[in-house]
Structure 1
Amino acid sequence: MNVDRLVFAIAGCFILLSVTLSQLHSIYWLGFTAFVGLNMLQAAFTGFCPLAMMLKKLGVQPGNAFH
């Protein structure tokens, strides 16, 4: 798996987890969902993604989206 696919997979897991926690524990978990969504939106326009940078430093093969 390359960086691009891992970023999408991890973001999707975070969103599903936070939505589930908002239903089971507290509605305030939706703030985390909003944070992940906003980070994905800004990464689409700027190309800056902290998770992609961390994955690259861990040696994951880079993809086309985050150079």
Structure 2
Amino acid sequence: MCLERGVLEPAVIVHHIDHLKDRPDKALDEDNLQSVCAACHNRLHPEKGKHQEEPKQRKARVIQARANPEII
């Protein structure tokens, strides 16, 4: 993709043209694989960069521990 724009970047990610979720049978099909740089992969998958909902705050359950009087 970079070469099409006249830019030379190292390809560090193998992109599945047909998503694995939709076509797991094409996982290792060479016609379905494309070498891309990280920036191009982010452009191909903008949904992966979106922030997800803020995680819900979890309340910690606090317990009080006491020494066993039989051992002391």
Return the index of the structure with the highest Cα Rg. Answer: 2
Instruction: Considering fraction of residues, name the structure with more strand.
Output: 2
TM-score grouping bracket, smaller chain normalisation: under 0.3
Q: Normalising by structure 1, what TM-score?
A: 0.25
Which structure has more relative contact order (CA 8 Å, sep 6+)? It is 1
Q: Normalising by structure 2, what TM-score?
A: 0.24
